Chains A and B, each alone.
Chain A
Amino acid sequence: MITLRNVVKKFGTTVAVDGVSFEVKKGENVVLLGTSGCGKTTTLRLINRLTEISSGEILVDGKNIKEIPPEELRRNIGYVMQHNGLFPHYTIEENIAIVPRLLKWPEEKIRNRIFELLEQINLPGDVLKLYPQQLSGGQQQRVGLARALAADPPLLLMDEPFGALDAITRNNITKEFSRLEVLKNKTIVLVTHDIREAFELGDRILLMNKGKIVQQGTSIELLFHPQNDFVSDFFSSQKMQLELHSVYLKDIFNHLENTNSHDNATFIDENKTLWEAIEFLQLQNKNWLQVKDPVSGEIKNVGYNSLFNGLEALKQQAHE
């Protein structure tokens, strides 16, 4: 869907993006992760030509983007920004309709599309006649997403889409986004500096530093197989939390110690993360869980200790 080959962007003498190459497959969610100034946002903006590349090439759907007029390119790529950039003088309805109108859709089609979108992103219909400043930050961000999705582009670029929200709203909306049906079939490139967000939303994570990609892979690959000190240091501050978030019960089933004697253990889906399993135990005020192996159908009764031991064993195995 997207291919970057040895892409360089210079601003004067400073090199913002320094020879970046990667590929994004159709339907994949890729996260560009890194600290401020690492070149992740610039890389994203190169894809829809908000910034022009200095050298290298970018292909979208196999076509070099330099051969597509920037306006046409952008109309077919959804773009969501940190500051939602909603037009303050347009109603919500008009805001969402911008790209379809640029594409000269018939009004009837636009109207239907807007109602469809509202439902999908959980916004009540009565916001349509309101102006952006009358909505909460979370609602505005949802409208921002709806606007990006309005013309149903196959590709979505998101630049810190939740960056301007408070921590709680941000957490909720991130979870919600990861489950949104409308985003399921989209190819998404998302930029963030928030590691948890990256782990939650990214099929694949590209960790960037000083304009270069340091390592790319799944969250588990990055966590358990850091290629250098930069990568391990980057995750060190929240390591335990991240591990619990990214390891699923099914991943460590073989390492789990079965304790036979506990009848009041509660059954839990093996597709839950360790974090969710621990949360579940605490909420239910229980000490034991029943987990089923997806392959053999074997059932194990496990406790807190067993979960942590299982994680350690997995890490040991990874290092060997």
Chain B
Amino acid sequence: MSNQSGKILDQLLQHIGLTFISLLIAVVIGVPLGIFITRKRKVAAIVLGFTGVLQTIPSIALLGFMIPLLGIGPVPAIVALFLYALLPIVRNTFTGITNVDQAVIESARGMGMTKNQILTKVELPLSMPVILAGIRTATVINVGVATLASYIGAGGLGEFIFGGIALNNTNMILAGAIPAALLAIFFDFILSHVQKLNLKKVRTAFWMLPLCLVLLSSFYILPEFYRSKMLAGFTPEFMGRKDGYPGLKKVYNLNIRTVVISDAVMYKAAFEKKLDVIDGYSTDGRLKAFHLQVLEDDKHLFPPYYAAPLVRKEVLKKYPELENVLNQLAGKINDSVMTELNYHVDYLKQSPQKVAKDFLMEQGLYKSPLSEGEDYVTIGSKIFGEQYILAEMYSMLIKGNTHLQVTTKTGLGGTKICFDAIANKQIDIYPEYTGTGLLVILQTPDSIVASFHGDKEKIYDYVKNKFDSKYNVRWLKPIGFNNTYALMMRKKEAVRLKITSISDLKNYLSKK
């Protein structure tokens, strides 16, 4: 944590900057737009409807839409935040101005004020409390949504939050979440006071506000571009793991400019040349889909990640038949088969269910579901295609071979969430990887990890024993494939630069 504590201030300032740059743009565009639609009532419904629809788009999805249009980094994040801030500002400006007492406007006209004079001297000052309420709402929304900006490499406190979730590190989550919450409360408090100022002072506030917005916006120091030849996008988890970026620096002495980005958009960003190097999983179907090449881990930094089902011992005791059923998959899927299956889901957009069923049929393992009894088990999965496929396979196997009902909780966002779920008995089964168990969940000290020399059997046994005694969770037999971490680049570029291993990459970067 010590080396990260200095980062809090950086990320806090980035966060404030992101929030207020987008807010500033939203005010500059939203207030005039709100005024405009009070003059053109026919357009009002359309504009309010449209901004309302924007508001309902899940923030992650909105950020995802931005990638193909604007790439990654602060620009798409600011645009997305701007779109979120727009509705409350436009709506409140519209409501504020339409609710100004008509008698007052009438008398202003009657005295010979021009339309502009009525706007600036009557309508805006009188609707200012309502407009400020809209800006206040938008600020609080933006502080919250800005945490998601780290998904697309825009920084902010989200780096800590999502890093912490991925790394099973509660302190790290809090280091991001608490400042974010305090920020929201602080700005809400300040703006609530601005709002309550008497009508007279609001006129001053009206000019102060843009000033403060600009000031706060300047906190976001745009990242200096082109400091190294390549840009790497790493997931929050990879940024923090010992066998992730810190390991790359230690073992390979690799120094590359990095941004934090979510797994969901990373491959695409690499494909679209927004990123040059990314971390990924060696069995990921998107490798094939986006023409990426895995760089050889010639110094054996990444430990083996053999996948195997994790099951609660309590459940195994209650339904002993489960063990054999789940082990039917053991040794059946090797790396290339898994990559192929993932490719079907990630690229060919087949449903995980169909891919799972096709595979089981082919292997002769598929059986029609038996009649269901009262009892049920819950299968969980992390939020990527491979886990969905495995969860579906296990679900089909259980239904075909036992009378148990199966419920699924798929798409759990990260190791910590999955493991907490099984530890808290919210799920009974989920596929996990030996390396993740060793490093992320058990947080095994370096000395012990080093003693395994990357031996997959030793690691499996160690993890199995530890989980058994510590968490009452059993590792069943490995499925066969090794979904290890990998660094990858676009194939064409790798060929052009003659980079095949991580050492090659290091040498290329340290030239000049």
Check B117–A102 contact: CB distance below 8 A: yes
Interface centre among B104, B107, B200, B202 (most CB of A within 10 A): B107
Check A50–B122 contact: CB distance below 8 A: no
Residues of B within 8 A of A98 (CB): 111, 113
| Size category of the binding interface on chain B | 20 to 34
B104, closest chain A residue (CB): A85
Residues of A within 8 A of B108 (CB): 85, 87
In the assembly, what is the distance between CA of A81 and CA of B125, in Å?
A: 22
Residues of B within 8 A of A76 (CB): 112
Check A87–B122 contact: CB distance below 8 A: yes
Q: 1/0 per position for A56-93, CB-CB distance to B under 8 A? A: 00000000000000111111100101011111110000
Contact partner of B112 (CB less than 8 A), chosen from A86, A87, A99, is A99
Interface centre among A72, A76, A98 (most CB of B within 10 A): A98
In the assembly, what is the distance between CA of A89 and CA of B125, in Å?
A: 8
Residues of B within 8 A of A70 (CB): 112
Within 8 A of B (CB), among A217-239: none
Interface centre among A48, A85, A86 (most CB of B within 10 A): A85
Contact partner of B103 (CB less than 8 A), chosen from A50, A74, A83, A147, is A83
Q: 1/0 per position for B193-207, CB-CB distance to A under 8 A? A: 000000110110000
- Judge if B106 is at the interface, Cβ distance under 8 Å: yes
Residues of A within 8 A of B200 (CB): 89
Residues of B within 8 A of A48 (CB): 110
Residues of A within 8 A of B126 (CB): 88-89
In the assembly, what is the distance between CA of A147 and CA of B110, in Å?
A: 11
Q: 1/0 per position for A27-71, CB-CB distance to B under 8 A? A: 000000000000000000000101000000000000000000011
Contact partner of A102 (CB less than 8 A), chosen from B112, B122, B202, is B112
Check A74–B107 contact: CB distance below 8 A: no
Check B114–A71 contact: CB distance below 8 A: yes
Within 8 A of A (CB), among B96-121: 101, 103-104, 106-114, 117, 121
Question: If A73-B112, A75-B112 touch, does A89 touch B199 (CB 8 Å cutoff)?
Answer: yes
In the assembly, what is the distance between CA of A73 and CA of B110, in Å?
A: 10
Please give the number of chain A residues whose Cβ is less than 8 angstroms from any Cβ of chain B in the complex.
Answer: 23
Contact partner of A81 (CB less than 8 A), chosen from B103, B114, B117, B203, is B103
Check A74–B122 contact: CB distance below 8 A: no
A164, closest chain B residue (CB): B103
A147 CB → nearest B CB, Å: 7
Residues of B within 8 A of A84 (CB): 103, 107
Residues of B within 8 A of A72 (CB): 112
Question: If A88-B126, A88-B199 touch, does A81 touch B106 (CB 8 Å cutoff)?
Answer: yes
Residues of B within 8 A of A131 (CB): 199
Within 8 A of B (CB), among A126-149: 131, 147
Residues of A within 8 A of B111 (CB): 74-75, 79, 98-99, 102, 147
A295 CB → nearest B CB, Å: 46
Check A74–B110 contact: CB distance below 8 A: yes
Contact partner of B110 (CB less than 8 A), chosen from A79, A86, A87, A88, is A79
Check A87–B104 contact: CB distance below 8 A: yes
Residues of A within 8 A of B112 (CB): 70-76, 99, 102
Sampled A-B contacts (17; CB under 8 Å)? A71-B114, A75-B112, A81-B106, A83-B101, A83-B103, A84-B103, A85-B101, A85-B103, A85-B107, A85-B110, A87-B107, A87-B108, A88-B126, A88-B199, A98-B113, A102-B113, A102-B117
Since A50-B106, A85-B107 are in contact, a sample of 6 more A-B pairs with Cβ atoms closer than 8 Å, ordered by chain A residue number, is A48-B110, A81-B103, A81-B110, A83-B103, A84-B107, A85-B108
